[in-house]
Amino acid sequence: MSENDNLRWLDHLPVGWAQLYRDLLSDLAAAGITVCVDEVKEKFGSLRVHLEPRVSEARPYIGAAEERSKVTCQRCGEPGEMLMRNRIVATLCPAHGDGFSKPERPPVVTIYMKPGNISDE
Ligand SMILES: [Zn+2]
């Protein structure tokens, strides 16, 4: 896997986070960590990066990039914050956050589990 294969995920990312993702890949390369990105996406207003196979050494770098995405406008890359509109969560700067409002609390994901009905999918 080459770095170019990982860069193809730029097409799947909000444009404001393209630099953030490029920085992550170059930081990993600089640290001598080779990764194969399995998926990159925006979820609940933050960047998610999945590697296949998983590389534990890459985890702190990915965690830092995910944290940075939470304060980076996903449209333009300027400083932003997590905002909501119609239950859609996005990280936006004041200019792009027009029409959005601050969530009263961080979005919460609730998982319901029924006993006796657990499968691996
Ligand atoms: Zn913006």
**Nearest-angstrom CA–CA distance, 112 and 59:** 28
In this prediction, residue 117 carries a pLDDT of 54
Q: Separation of 76 CA from ligand 1 center, angstroms? A: 4
N- to C-terminal Cα separation, the chain: 28
* Residues 40-89: tens digit of each pLDDT: 999 989 999 999 999 999 999 999 999 999 999 999 999 999 999 988 89
Q: Separation of 29 CA from ligand 1 center, angstroms? A: 28
Q: Separation of 109 CA from ligand 1 center, angstroms? A: 26
Which residue has tokens 């940075």? Answer: 68
Q: Separation of 77 CA from ligand 1 center, angstroms? A: 6
pTM over 0.85: no
- Is residue 36 predicted with pLDDT exceeding 50? yes
Please report, for residues 11, 83, 90, 97, 103, the alpha-carbon distance to residue 86 in angstroms, rounded to integers and kept in the order given.
25, 10, 11, 13, 11
**Nearest-angstrom CA–CA distance, 104 and 83:** 10
